[in-house]
Chains A and B, each alone.
Chain A
Amino acid sequence: MTRYAADPSAIKALIHPERVHRDVYTDPDIFRLEMKHLFANTWIYVGHASQIPNPGDYLTTDIGNQPVLASRHSDGSVHVLYNRCPHKGTKIASEACGNTGKFFRCPYHAWSFKTNGALLAIPFKKGYDGTGLEDTEAVKGLAPVGAAHVYRDFIFARLAPSGVDFETFFGESLSSIDNMIDRSPEGKLVLEGAPLRYMHPCNWKMLVENQTDTCHPMVAHESSAGTAISVWEREQAKGGKKPMAVEVYAPFMSPYDFFEKMGLRVWPNGHGHTGVTTSIHADYSAIPGYFDKMVAAYGEERARAILGESRHNTCYFPNIMVKGPIQTLRVFKPVAADRTLVESYTFRLVGAPDTLFERTLMYNRLINAPTSIVGHDDLEMYERAQLGLHADGLEWVNIQRLYEPGEAEDVTEIAGGTSERQMRNQFHAWTKYMTMSMTPEGVAFQEAAQ
């Protein structure tokens, strides 16, 4: 670490309200600082409780570049632990999801741990008698992360031991997760279907920003959505109703005015969503039987209110996006400054007709798969941006659209749907969470917040 190491003023100088310096996308030092500070100070999505329903169930993932696991303990509680044996460092769990039985057992030397991480046993332990092992970190077992929180089955964790608490961090933004869950007549989601995994040769933030970029669909996706419309217009002469796939593709070609009117909302701490009044998901055909089940569960007024929300993309800072009306969740996992793994997950609404889940899966493969033509359009733009940013003629990326000088930061507000306000909101939060643990004052703030 050289140029930017632990120098908050240098970090802050990269972010202006209406533009950001290219180094935030390209510089390996910045990337390392993001892993160390940003991904430690924020609440990161770990997984969904339905993936680990029974004691001994676990899932593994990464928070930034840190390997972690989430474990269901015998008392039903969920524990988020570093996935590293305290003895020699071996990863304890290697599968994406599994069941470890009553305890974790390291495959290297058979140190074992309870499913809450506590050390259970060490083979031939008398070899440590009188060595002072009991005074080391090693006997504490699998280290827990700083904090973990399960919100309506969504598991989040913060690596830093102190910092902004869960409710303060997310605040009203949780309403998008609420709406996705409430769309189940039983108020319950099950994560189902393999995630679609898609490697991108670009910085993770480009993907996040694109989620609320409503001035690109009619341009970048003319090739996919535009072609879908023109092929369908020819084919529909043969008769038959508009296929679900065309319903999914076609709205990407909506005009600027549509996206402007659909609106955008920002929340504090970098969260925000597109689609306040309507969205590209608002006009899908009704699924037979679904509305009746919702009315039976919630009453007509409440059912209409739940289904009337058609929020487009909700970004939870820093690196996930939720689509309530579609029941998908995308995780943008940073791998390197110019490499991002995107994992797109699908949820089944418990108690809803299968056809809804069929649409969720279809949406995911048409839009989010490495075989998706919409995905191809987007990846091409990210890749070109990642390469283009090396041009020394211009070092700044513009995020000025519908910017108002003196614009309030860290607030809940609504803006025009084609605004780049959410990108500015994210970068404001980026600066805050990057620098809060870099100086003694920042650390003091963090502790005070706790």
Chain B
Amino acid sequence: MSAVTEKDLVDFVYREARLLDELRYEEWLALYAEDAHYWMPAEWQQTNPRLQASLMYEDMLLLKIRVERLSGARTFSQKPKSRAQHLLQVPQVDEIDPAENRYRTWTSFHYAETRGDEFTIYAGWARHDLRVEEGSLKIVLKRVDLVNFDAPFGNIQLFM
């Protein structure tokens, strides 16, 4: 891959959202590095995923379990199935550092998840920490901070 541009990063974030909206989870997982984490903090300006409470802090194994479960024959909470829609603000590029192979974006979003007659809107910010592996951008850390992280939610079954 030639030098990573701002447009590459922005397109990457859009592409991830589209894969999620189209429920193409295997392709979505392929955007993540083997050592990646998907993190949803449960505290304001949280710094530590291990010793502070989070809604999610999942490595690839746990994400694969989630994805496989969604299509399981006895996954009753997916009968009927959920769907999702992302509305993203233009991602802001916070860091482009080819020397360190480190790229960061910050994206404000609204996210809708629906199942049966239920429809719920969430709002927050997604931070992507990325690096280039074998010519492709990969997610090292996706951090999703909900604006109301401390509110009581019902089921959140898909990915923001």
Interface string of A190-215 (1 = CB under 8 A from B): 00011111111100000000000000
Asked if A377 is at the interface of the complex by the 8 Å CB criterion, the answer is yes
- Let me know if A245 and B62 touch, CB within 8 A: yes
- Residue B155, interface by CB 8 Å: yes
- Contact present for A223 and B75 (CB under 8 Å): yes
A200 CA to B153 CA in the complex, in Å?
9
- Interface flag for B42 (CB, 8 Å): yes
What's the minimum C-beta distance from A341 to chain B, rounded to whole angstroms? 5
Q: Are A199 and B153 in contact (CB under 8 A)?
A: yes
Tell me whether chain A's interface is mostly helix, strand or loop, or mixed.
Answer: helix
Interface flag for A396 (CB, 8 Å): no
How far is it, in angstroms, between the C-alpha of A243 and the C-alpha of B56 when the chains are bound? Answer: 16
Is A438 interfacial (CB 8 A cutoff)?
no
B153 and A197: CB pair below 8 A? yes
In A121-170, the 8 Å CB interface with B consists of none
- Residues of chain A within 8 A (CB-CB) of B53 are 193-196, 346, 361, 364-365
| Interface members, chain A 240-268 (any B CB < 8 Å) | 243, 245-246, 249
Whether A370 and B74, one on each chain, are in contact in the complex, defined by CB atoms closer than 8 angstroms, is no
Residues of B within 8 A of A246 (CB): 61
In the complex, chain A residues whose CB is within 8 Å of the CB of B61: 231-232, 235, 243, 245-246
A196–B55 contact, CB under 8 A? yes
Interface residue tally on B, bucketed by range: 20 to 34
Pick the residue among A201, A226, A346 that contacts B154 (CB under 8 A).
Answer: A201
* Nearest Cβ on chain B to A235's Cβ, whole angstroms: 6
Docked CA distance A361–B152 (Å): 17
Given A361-B51, A370-B153, A376-B77, the answer on whether A231 and B65 have CB atoms closer than 8 Å is yes
Residue in A194, A195, A198, A245 whose CB lies within 8 Å of B153 = A198
Report the separation of the CA atoms of residues A346 and B55 in the bound assembly, to the nearest whole angstrom. 13
- B37-71 interface code vs A (CB 8 A; 1 in, 0 out): 00010110000001111111101011011101100
Q: Would you call A358 and B65 a contact (CB within 8 A)?
A: no
| Interface residue? A436 (CB, 8 A) | no
Given the known inter-chain contacts A223-B74, A373-B66, A377-B76, please indicate yes or no for A358 contacting B51, CB distance below 8 A.
yes
Asked if A341 contacts B155 (CB within 8 A), the reply is: no
A222 and B43 alpha carbons, distance in the complex (Å) = 31
Interface residue? A94 (CB, 8 A):
no
Contact (Cβ within 8 A) A371 B55: yes
When chains A and B are docked, how far (Å) is the Cα of A354 from the Cα of B47? 16
Which A residues are CB-close (under 8 A) to B30? none
Identify B76's interface contact among A200, A223, A243, A362, CB under 8 A.
A223
Residues in A whose Cβ lies below 8 Å from that of B62: 245
The docked-state distance in angstroms from the alpha carbon of A397 to that of B98 is: 64
Question: Does B69 lie within 8 Å of A198, measured CB to CB?
Answer: no
Interchain CB contact under 8 A, A220 and B76: yes
**Across the interface, do A375 and B69 meet the contact criterion of CB distance under 8 Å?**
no
A369 touches B (CB below 8 Å): yes
Q: Assess A376 versus B157: contact at CB under 8 Å? Given A223-B69, A365-B53.
A: yes
B72 at the interface (CB under 8 A from A): yes
B3 within 8 A of A: no
Is B156 in the interface zone, CB < 8 Å from A?
yes
Number of interface residues of A (CB under 8 A): 46
Contact with A along B131-158 (1 / 0, CB 8 A): 0000000000000000000111111110
Contact A380 B76 (CB under 8 A): yes
Q: Which of B40, B59, B150, B155 contacts A197 (CB 8 A)?
A: B150
Contact B57 A379 (CB under 8 A): no
Of the residues B42, B50, B72, contact of A223 by C-beta under 8 Å: B72
- Supposing A196-B42, A223-B77, A376-B77 touch, asked if A365 and B68 sit within 8 A by C-beta, the answer is no
Does the CB pair A377–B65 fall under 8 Å? no
List residues of chain B with CB within 8 A of the CB of A362: 57
B50: chain A residues at CB < 8 Å are: 358, 361
| Inter-chain contact A375/B155, CB cutoff 8 Å | yes
Please determine whether B151 and A377 come into contact, CB atoms closer than 8 angstroms: no
A357 part of interface (Cβ distance < 8 Å): yes
Does A446 lie at the interface of the complex (its beta carbon under 8 Å from any beta carbon of B)?
Answer: no
Are the C-beta atoms of B150 and A194 separated by less than 8 Å?
A: yes
Contact A379 B155 (CB under 8 A): yes
A249 to B68, CA, bound (A): 15
Closest Cβ of chain B: how far from A232's Cβ, in Å? 7
| Docked-complex contact A194 and B42, CB < 8 angstroms | yes
Q: Is A227 an interface residue (CB 8 A)?
A: yes
Are A224 and B69 interface neighbours, CB within 8 A? yes
Q: Hey, which chain A residues are within 8 Å of B65, CB to CB?
A: 224, 227-228, 231, 249, 373
B43, B57, B77, B152: the one contacting A365 at CB < 8 Å is: B57
User: Whole-angstrom distance from the CB of B158 to the nearest CB of chain A?
Assistant: 10
Q: Is the CB of B54 within 8 A of A379?
A: no
Cβ of A381 < 8 Å from any Cβ of B? yes
Q: Mark A19-63, 1 if CB is under 8 A from B, else 0.
A: 000000000000000000000000000000000000000000000
Which residues of B approach A to under 8 Å, CB–CB?
40, 42-43, 50-57, 59, 61-62, 64-66, 68-69, 72, 74-77, 150-157
Known A197-B150, A224-B69; 12 more pairs at CB < 8 Å: A197-B152, A200-B154, A201-B154, A223-B75, A223-B77, A227-B72, A231-B65, A361-B53, A370-B156, A373-B65, A379-B77, A380-B76
Seen from chain A, the residues whose Cβ lies within 8 Å of a Cβ on chain B are 193-201, 220, 222-224, 226-228, 230-232, 235, 243, 245-246, 249, 341-343, 346, 354, 357-358, 361-362, 364-365, 369-371, 373, 375-377, 379-381, 384
